[in-house]
Amino acid sequence: MVGRGWPFHNDGDPDDWAHDAASVSLHHTLTMAPQQLAVAVYDIAATSLPSAALVLAAALSIFAAALVRGFTGFGFALTAVPLLGLFMPPTQSVPVAVCLQLLIGLGDLPRASRVCDWPSLRWLILGGVIGSPIGVLVLSLVSASAARLLIALITVGAVVLLNAGFRLTTAPARRITALVGLTAGMFNGLAGMPGPPVIVYYNSGAFGRIAARASMMVFFLVSSIVATATLASFDLLDLHVAVLTALGIPVMLVGTWLGDLGFHRGSDTLHRRVSMTSLAAVALGSALKGLSDLL
């Protein structure tokens, strides 16, 4: 008895029919697999690879953020996330900014570690580790928008105080430094903004601009390592993020190089002025966002 078609034959035995069915399934899989694979690859490319317009907009945003960081030692994520957020969701803008900050931080670590102020960094990092879960706990009691607004107002107040002439002549005591780190950790847990207390601390006049800039780079590298691990645990590091991160690396390197060039050609006064202006702009933008979310 001839079966249901070439190349299968059986004589009516149920086992032969089962063998034929399995053979048909295998034959279908082998012949269709390349087509299905091609369709799958096309679907992944269509949904994961960014458009040319998105790449250009992201490149400009990353360049601006890298320029700020290259000069001041901080501000990459603070600048990049709002700019990238204009044309992509937070689930993409935040991971891209964090991954790029991690990569550039690792690249700068050998040089920064030689001139940073390790005594203060140790206490800042310790305080930050303790403060982050406290901030998350407080966040469960208040809204994120209210927390962001409060942090922004405190930051603006600190910037005004520094611009009014407040200066420290010596490095703060360990307990004060640990308290600053604790505050930074709480700000991180509350709104993902650990930077303002640390930036104000290193621009208070007790540290030279080279040590201050290097110390902030190391601190934010540690923050980005923790943030990257957190993003990975929530499965937010996908192919789209990887592609944008890879495409952003050359732009980030150029922006960082130009910012670094400006830093070495500038003065302590210029560095402080640009740092405070950048921090004030970020704080005001954050305050407006928090206020708009509350209204």
Instruction: Report pLDDT digits (tens) over 249-288.
Output: 999 999 999 999 999 998 888 888 888 888 888 788 878 8
With a cut of 80, say whether residue 113 has pLDDT above it: yes
Residue 49's pLDDT is 60
Confidence of residue 9 (pLDDT cuts 50, 70, 90): very low
Q: Percent of the chain beyond pLDDT 90?
A: 35
**Residue 97 domain boundaries:** 52-294
Do 181 and 37 share a structural domain?
no
Say if residue 14 is preceded by a cis peptide, omega within 30 of 0.
Answer: no
Residue 34's pLDDT is 54
CB 101: neighbour CB atoms within 10 A?
28
Do 169 and 67 share a structural domain?
yes
Do 109 and 37 share a structural domain?
no
Do 275 and 155 share a structural domain?
yes
Number of domains observed in the structure of the chain = 2
- Burial classification of residue 136, based on how many CB atoms lie within 10 Å of its CB (0-12 exposed, 13-18 middle, 19 or more buried): middle
Phi-psi label, residue 8: left if phi above 0, alpha if psi -120 to 50, beta otherwise: beta
Do 234 and 145 share a structural domain?
yes
pLDDT digits (tens, 9 = 90+) for 51-103: 888 889 889 999 999 999 999 998 888 888 888 888 888 888 889 999 999 99
Do 184 and 135 share a structural domain?
yes
Do 174 and 42 share a structural domain?
no
Contact assessment for residue 206 and residue 146, using Cβ atoms and an 8 Å cutoff: no
Do 96 and 197 share a structural domain?
yes
Higher pLDDT, 122 or 203: 122
Do 202 and 87 share a structural domain?
yes
pLDDT digits (tens, 9 = 90+) for 123-157: 999 999 999 889 888 878 888 788 878 888 888 88
Residue 161's pLDDT is 82
Report the range out of 38-47, 72-81, 158-167, 247-256 with the highest average pLDDT: 247-256
* Identity of the amino acid at 257: W
Phi-psi label, residue 68: left if phi above 0, alpha if psi -120 to 50, beta otherwise: alpha
Q: Percent of the chain beyond pLDDT 70?
A: 83
Give the orientation angle of helix 118-139 with respect to helix 195-202, to 10 degrees: 150
Residue 5's pLDDT is 43
Do 200 and 119 share a structural domain?
yes
